[in-house]
Amino acid sequence: MEHAKTYLFVPGNAPHRFQHAVSCGADAVIFDLEDAVHPDEKNQARENIIQWDKNDTPVSEINCKRYIRLNKFDSVAFREDIEFLNKLNNKEKLRNNAKSRHKIVTWEIVLPKIESAEMLNDAREMINRNRLDNVNIIAIIETARGLHNAEEICAAGVERVAFGSLDFSLDIHCDQSLYALLYARSRIVLASRLADLPPPIDCVNPDFTHHDRVLADALHARSLGFSAKLCIHPSQIDAVQQAFATDRSKLDWAKQVLKAAEHSYAFQINGEMVDLPVIEQARQLLRAQNVDD
């Protein structure tokens, strides 16, 4: 099964954007209660989500996953988020108990500024309290301490991890250049692989007016091993999808490699040497796209 490539943020205090967000083509939408929402507006943002969820399009007609980004674990706002989740969860139970003994989970969780497996597990315990089953969690690594503990965070049972470059660069006093963020990005890719997670989600690009810049940034992330990207505006979706799409020529190359591999594990195609690791790369490429060998 192919994993989501585009994760679009929508501020919880902008309810007029909710319906467009879930219908604009993003693979996943993250309703934000954290950075995009002023402290004085967080309660209203929570209520906005509850009211929209009560009146939204039927789940079967929404073609994207829905997440809620909570506030930082050690904040008062996080405790208030837990109370909000319980209200949302109780409504979900009422909606679904006529069809099943177990509620249908339609909301997943994004946790910001996760710095250790212990923090993640403590947050998950509070989130899962009073639930009938566990909720999927995406952990955002966006501090020096979080990066230092990336391996244990990835191994702590998350659905996936994401990189938060803006807060990370603020924490370590670096800029947003490709070189400045290269180590952090590569470390997160490696940690995800060691934990057998899907490839991680790359950070947002604050530029939502220049398609080429977003495309170049996403292509760079893909070259490092990311397979998805956080988006802050619907205008970024096309560029990100383009960057992470597999073009026809690569699929044709992979099929050609596997056909030749039926007879030998060492050969050349188009003047390039092919051996077992390259054969496996071709196999993985086709498998990721659900294409028969």
Does 159 carry a binding-site annotation?
no
Contact 275, 266 (CB under 8 A): yes
Straight-line distance from the first to the last Cα atom of the chain, in angstroms, rounded to the nearest whole number:
16
CB neighbour burial string for 24-47, b if at least 16 within 10 angstroms, e if fewer? bebbbbbbbbbebbeeebbeebbe
Please tell me the distance from the alpha carbon of residue 271 to that of residue 267, in angstroms, as a whole number.
Answer: 10
Beta-sheet strands, E only, within 149-195: 160-163
Note the residue count of the chain. Answer: 293
Does 283 carry a binding-site annotation?
no
Please tell me the distance from the alpha carbon of residue 151 to that of residue 146, in angstroms, as a whole number.
Answer: 9
Quote the tokens at residue 111: 């946790």
Quote the tokens at residue 238: 């096309």
Does 167 carry a binding-site annotation?
yes
> Which residues participate in the annotated binding site for substrate?
69, 142
> Which residues participate in the annotated binding site for Mg(2+)?
142, 167
> Which residues participate in the annotated binding site?
69, 142, 167
